[in-house]
Structure 1
């Protein structure tokens, strides 16, 4: 069931202006906007962040845009005048900053949180990794960021969860009612013609791709440089590893070494172009959360991958991976060499990537599920909120705590 066209307004409060050419988060946001656009929504995108030169030209896509300020009453006037039917919070930080203002000025607006990934999960895993201690759900539960993120989920009418693992974590450990959550991974076109893919013999070299502002990516490049790649290069001296990523820090740029085939390329102008010519994607991710855009891109371009349990987490369900999942460094290297040199293994892995995309990430079916949920909530929003007593309680507390903290900062800024 779909919403009527030309009658609805969507307000997006973005943490940063979306950069689909730079980040998986940017790709995700553009996918969500496309869903609403196809339903005839009038879309306004806002952010308190500065626009970078790589930000998407949202006006060119017929979206409205508006700069907003944190802890400023001008947002109240703006949102009340816009009076959106749906408000989409881009990550939990924007709900913390603007959620109470939306609830106060537009109480009938459907509030949706796009988590991107559970930031608290990624944060705690990183802390555990740095301390060289195992990650546990108890460590996650006691962290302050977890409490903040879960509170945001309860305050919203619906939270979009990108990974099946994260959905299980929220429902099984926190016991959040499933009516507040929707599993919605990346939504991509089905692969109907793989004959255009470059063949095994037409491809060469390994690839890693990931933004430099994302800590798991930086650690993965360090792992490749110091542990994985020296062992691969020893067995495959003619092969090269191309490291792509926007905003790579100086410490990564200085790892560039043509003599060892370790090539730090920087920003990729078109991810599909570099991914489709590589033979194998390497992603030794040792902490993180959510679904990995680099691995989805690899599947879309027929590029088998070797990753870790963290890398593949929540991405394949009961299906086989499009390559190998290895946590041990020696096994990781052996898998990378095997994929690179054994044609039959490579082709089987490539076909499995196609199966994964068409089974779990096909845009038509995921869009339909999402829109049906939005329609259902619009029809019965009052009852839905009544049943979410914890959310109502937290909303009340937010109105009397975060609200007045925001107002205090607002008055302080005036002085």
Structure 2
């Protein structure tokens, strides 16, 4: 008997534009390996960067907000599992899934802890350390309610697992650590990478629609790059990212070697040409795709504590972690000009990929977790009283608001 899985996407996957897009394709592969026929549905519009899911055998469906046509669609599909891509889709469609397919296992892929990112953005704006007041923001409340309403939530970072269990007292039974799932970097790939001597210039990369990325570019422009450029006057910083805004384009200054390059059709190619990746993120959450890109292509990094969070465990980083802008710039210059240390940091990156994010280290345990939950769903839900309570209370208000909007739209 075929097993059916529905993913409700916040957006259509764009692996060339964001780490979230790559993460979604990794998840799809995991469920396909478990024998599931995967359907991906979304209310979002596609773009030129949207991945063609039909290439990997995934069915697709356009769905609509506040529209009962979704009820007919999911009832006919009757999936064994429904995956919500970020908590916003669970808020929008969770009650419909629960009504139409009550026996379906409901999994939330958080992508990252949005409430943590919001807390850090608030603290950054105020120029102070993150406090409990920052963490207890409205986004955190919505997201944690969504986690309780689901049967399992996938958490991409060990740091976020710790925050959710220690500070928010979330039951571990509702959370599952599942980081980036990557193929091993082969020796042939490593041997073919450009050497230290061939590479030149600095790089940073990231979707410009993501506020932490734009903030990091601005921080580089104002605080860090002038200090690097003073010591390395012929070097350039190449800044890549999808959806560059006009305010980002205006930062382009050829005389300063600060070059806004825009969308990179092949992130691996541009990363391999660079000698060093800079990632001075001042807020954010989750794992950073730019660091994975760098490690896969043998490009050491100078990064902030926020950028490094959850990436390295007990292993040495593939570069230097520094938050002070002057020290950040100095260490970037030192690493850029020292081939022996650069080579060591490159090797650390390959080791991190193998020991921390190798897909074979996670796929069997994840498959077992899904199978165990599916076979014991009733007991699992009975032990989650808060989730049951929120399912009863919160989603009732969402449900009737949605029905009111649908009725209003039908009378136009």
TM-score bracket for this pair, using the shorter chain length: over 0.9
Aligned to 1:404, which of 391, 400, 410? 400
CA displacement, residues 17-71 of structure 1 (integer Å, 9 cap, x when unaligned): 1111111110110110111122331111000111112111112222111100111
CA displacement, residues 178-221 of structure 1 (integer Å, 9 cap, x when unaligned): 11111111111112312122211121110000001000000000
RMSD: 1.0
Residue 148, structure 1, aligned to residue 142, structure 2? yes
Distance 2:388 2:86 in 1: 20
Partner residue, 1:3: none
Partner residue, 1:161: 155
Any residues of structure 2 matched to 1:243-322 within 5 Å, and which?
Answer: 243-322=239-318
Any residues of structure 2 matched to 1:98-137 within 5 Å, and which?
Answer: 98-137=93-132
SS for the counterpart of 2:191 is coil
Contact 1:322–1:349 at 8 Å: present in 2 too? Answer: yes
Ranges in structure 2 where 5+ consecutive residues have no aligned partner = none
Distance 1:38 1:336 in 2: 42
SS for the counterpart of 1:49 is coil
Partner residue, 2:180: 186
Ranges in structure 1 where 5+ consecutive residues have no aligned partner = 1-5
Partner residue, 1:208: 204
SS for the counterpart of 1:401 is helix
TM-score by length of 2: 0.97
Partner residue, 2:91: 96
Partner residue, 1:13: 8
Contact 1:100–1:398 at 8 Å: present in 2 too? Answer: no
Contact 2:122–2:134 at 8 Å: present in 1 too? Answer: no
Distance 1:328 1:53 in 2: 38
CA displacement, residues 320-363 of structure 1 (integer Å, 9 cap, x when unaligned): 11110100011100111111000111011111111111111001
SS for the counterpart of 2:5 is strand
Contact 2:203–2:238 at 8 Å: present in 1 too? Answer: yes
Q: CA deviation at 1:225?
A: 0.9
Q: CA deviation at 1:301?
A: 0.9
Aligned to 1:226, which of 222, 227, 231? 222
Distance 1:101 1:280 in 2: 48
Partner residue, 1:330: 326
Partner residue, 2:389: 393
Aligned to 1:362, which of 334, 358, 365? 358
Distance 1:150 1:400 in 2: 17
SS for the counterpart of 1:243 is strand
Partner residue, 1:239: 235
Contact 2:236–2:258 at 8 Å: present in 1 too? Answer: yes
CA displacement, residues 126-153 of structure 1 (integer Å, 9 cap, x when unaligned): 1221122221133212x11111000000
Off by >3 Å, runs of 4+ in structure 1: none
Q: CA deviation at 1:251?
A: 1.0
Distance 2:191 2:301 in 1: 19
Q: CA deviation at 1:80?
A: 0.6
Partner residue, 2:377: 381
Distance 2:35 2:51 in 1: 20
Aligned to 2:341, which of 341, 345, 357? 345
Give the number of equivalent residue pairs: 409
